Chains A and B, each alone.
Chain A
């Protein structure tokens, strides 16, 4: 008696397992062929940061240092400067003359994005940051800035003295 129940139970288990197998065989495949194909991301994946521009193509960052203050890894370094008639970089009074993120230390927590009052810093989907040379892991503003949106015409900038910095 007990034997018969055992056999039936095993057969049910096999049938259940094979059921999953056959079902998956027929459903569409989810395997990603990275790096042969581009990687796919969830919308809110937190990758390498992007510094955004506004509709006019001006940088959104006003160098308020709040991201740097919020950063638990202390990896954001900013030097602020004032926008002038000649040099106008951001929409506010101040802009980030230097904006570095040290990806040796960044833990992709998103606190900076949370802190930013101007939505200037966002997480992009970049993730191929690995390097054999840690010094290349410090990204500068120029490495992270979003391109000027098509059709936007940021004011012409005549740097006061290009050699100064």
Chain B
């Protein structure tokens, strides 16, 4: 570390690295310098003048947010002159600021309120008429109330730098300056809501949270977003068993304060009108509501019957359910139903990656690695649409550490803007097609990607280290070829095999496949794969949180039980449908795309629905086999997972306190024949999320607003 600079702030000795800003140096000794426009991680604006301090030997007051520390500098933050300056700045900010606090969404967590309370004048000297501008709607989720804006430009910077979108700018000058979309009267953007979150006042407000409640009225529950596989922590504000908003202002979790539209707004599927709130059973060919006890008894009787008759069971698990549920389900299937016909929709070939990396440790990158490593290669996926958090991490890495980014893809991707090299292969999607936000379509073959990588070989070799991300273009042997390429570079390389959903990774780890037990142990008993199960004449098929019949396949199974939140195509074919709780309505753990385990926290209850684990436990109890399966309590099952599943010996306190711990899958060859044909990704873009996305009103509204333009 370079020599520390010594300076004095308010009479206190401070040591800071050269280049540190005075505002940050003060923080290290507990001195708060008030600021509006300064925001950690964003470029400097020096727009608000709230942070003025006195510096000895400098003729005028300086902005602490742009002033780097210097040896022997003497800074004073509490002199009468500084206090007067703060008071004056606030008085100016309030000249046109409306007295909106009672109705303003920000009231109670407003930085302007707090500052005026601490540093402001008691009363206003401004008696003139305030400028009033009517509120505007910029997109389905972003509203703008110009008079409340204090022109700190945080929104513009977070959109431009943080998101890499640049959808906001400022128009006009002076007191009539306004924040406005770069594309006329509406936003063409990710609808991530970051600008709303970062706004210190209530100028930018959220279409879903507006006027719903006040911040102190909510209970805040930090849980994991249930949409894509990135595993962002989202803090849900709930009241009366309703989720009112999502954000992550405390920067806990692997995502800091980042969230995409799905983590911030698309929790609303839980409240969709189509949500199932009572079990359904087929009576005279039609699904009718029945009580829980009837439904469970029906399932248990039939399962016992099939067992007694020596019939065949098929079990299809989910990409969304928790590790505990997946573990219990496969145990149920293998030990009680004595079947190896168990599978789920595989969205990325993690098995091949784990196999190719056998014998090596520390080869799987974490979300944090994407921010810290010196170089990143993105293969295939349009990351900013399909894996918003990963894309954000890479962008931040480039901004803060000048990381070298290589984008190898079919179409243009956001990474192109700052990549040291962009290579186009295969067929690009039509970029002007708005529906590509739902499903980016560009496609190329693994061979084409590998050829492109060969071209980049010399450049990559020169990097000190590398992270490679690849999507389902690489399967089976191609993954092995990719790893061979990476290992031939002679530099430390880490890998991320992209998967689609919140617990896609966990489903594989927990052994929801016929050939692998939990922890990638060979099952030694061949079973049917998903497609084969649909085609087979099974005595009973049990589908938990999946929609395999979406393709319109005909039902062949003698008895079909479905656990789901909605009456999906699959549920509509079922004999018994059991209404399941969403991820926000239960406890458990999920494993994200980089293998990091995190805890789901129960935030709300929805009448009638039960967590899948409980449903399975009740079926076991009705069948009289609950004893052999153990308790259906998430914590108890997680303990069992930690003991039995290789790689899941993660520290319990880290998980329990809301942290993330990476699992280390196996460290040897995965003893199965790879089945690349079973792997296919849904390529959900920003505004899609499998079944859940279909029931999210926010995602629909945003997509419709796109398509109607």
Contacts and interface: CB of A to CB of B under 8 A. Distances in A.
A92 interface: yes
Interface in B207-249: 210-214, 216-217, 240
A62 B210 contact: no
B216 A69 contact: yes
Nearest to B240: A79
A65 B213 contact: yes
A92 B102 contact: yes
A115 B448 CA distance: 68
A93 B103 contact: yes
A83 to B, nearest CB: 8
B101 interface: yes
Contacts, number: 35
A64 B211 contact: no
B107 interface: yes
A69 B212 CA distance: 16
Contacts of A65: 213-214, 216-217
A25 to B, nearest CB: 56
Contact of A66 (B102, B210, B213, B240): B102
A117 B99 CA distance: 10
Question: Chain A contact residues (Cβ within 8 angstroms of B): what range?
Answer: 10 to 19
A118 B102 contact: yes
B145 to A, nearest CB: 9
Contacts of B107: 64
A130 to B, nearest CB: 30
A94 B212 CA distance: 8
Contacts of B211: 63, 80-82, 93-94
A108 to B, nearest CB: 23
B217 A62 contact: no
B210 A64 contact: no
Interface in A59-75: 62-66, 68-69
Contacts of A117: 101-102
Contacts of B212: 80-82
A160 to B, nearest CB: 15
Contact of A80 (B101, B213, B216): B213
A66 B104 CA distance: 12
Interface in A92-116: 92-94
Nearest to B210: A82
Interface in A40-98: 62-66, 68-69, 79-82, 92-94
A110 B107 CA distance: 22
Interface string B83-111: 00000000000000000011100010000
A32 B210 CA distance: 52
A64 B216 contact: no
Contacts of B210: 82
A68 B212 CA distance: 15
B102 A64 contact: yes
A63 B212 CA distance: 9
A94 to B, nearest CB: 4
B109 to A, nearest CB: 13
Contacts of B240: 79
Given A81-B211, A93-B211, A94-B211, A64 B217 contact: no
Which 7 interchain pairs have the tightest Cβ spacing? A64-B102, A82-B211, A94-B211, A65-B214, A117-B102, A92-B103, A93-B103
Given A65-B217, A92-B103, 9 more contacts: A64-B103, A69-B216, A79-B240, A80-B213, A80-B214, A81-B212, A82-B212, A94-B103, A117-B102
